[in-house]
Structure 1
Amino acid sequence: MISYEDRSPSIDPDAWVAADATVCGDVVIGAGSRIMHGARVVAEAGGAIRIGRNCIVLENAVIRATGRHDCAIGDYCLVGPNSHVVGAQIGDEVFIATGAAVFHGAQVGRGAEVRINGTVHLRTLLEPGATVPIGWIAVGNPAHILSPEQHEAIWSLQKPLDFPGSVYGVDRNHPDAMKTITTRLSNALRVHQTENS
Structure 2
Amino acid sequence: MRYEHLGARPRIHPDAVIAPTAVISGDVTVGAGSQVLHGVVITAEGGPVTLGENVIVMENALVRASAVHPVHIGSHVLVGPMASVAGATIADEVFLATGTRIFNGARIGRRSEVRINAVVHLRTVLPEGSVVPIGWVAVGDPARMLSPDRHDEIWELQQELDFPGFVFGLDRDTPDLMVQLTERYAAALSRHALDRPAD
- Between the aligned partners of 1:158 and 1:188, the Cα distance in structure 2 is 25
Instruction: Please name the residue that 1:67 is paired with.
Output: 67
- How far off is 1:194 after superposition? 4.0
* Amino acid of the structure 2 residue aligned with 1:101: R
Structure 1 residue 8 corresponds to structure 2 residue 26: no
Any unmatched runs of 5+ in structure 2?
none
Q: CA deviation at 1:144?
A: 0.1
In 2, Cα distance between equivalents of 1:110 and 1:196: 36
Aligned-residue identity in percent: 51
For 1:99 and 1:129, how far apart are their aligned partners in 2? Answer: 20
- The one-character-per-residue Cα deviations of 1:107-133 (angstroms, maximum 9, x if unpaired) are 000000000000000000011111000
Q: Which has the higher contact order (CA 8 A, sep 6+)?
A: 2
Structure 1 runs not aligned, ≥5 long: none
Asked if the contact 2:4/2:195 (under 8 Å) is kept, the reply is no
TM-score, normalised on structure 2?
Answer: 0.96
Question: What value does the CA root-mean-square deviation take over the aligned residues?
Answer: 1.1
1:18 corresponds to: 19
Give CA deviations for 1:29-54 in whole Å, capped at 9, x if unaligned: 0000000000000000x211000000
Contact 2:44–2:64 at 8 Å: present in 1 too? yes
Q: 3-state DSSP class of the match of 1:186?
A: helix
How much has 1:196 moved relative to structure 2?
6.8
* Residue deviations 1:144-196 (CA, integer Å, cap 9, x gap): 00000011111111111000000000000001111111111111111222457
SS at match of 2:183: helix
1:26-82 C-alpha deviation (Å, 9 max, x unpaired): 0000000000000000000x2110000000000000000011100000000000000
1:172 aligns with 2:172: yes
* Map 1:15-54 → 2, pairs under 5 A: 15-44=16-45, 46-54=46-54
Once residues 78 and 34 of structure 2 are traced to their aligned partners in structure 1, the CA distance between those partners, rounded to angstroms, is 10
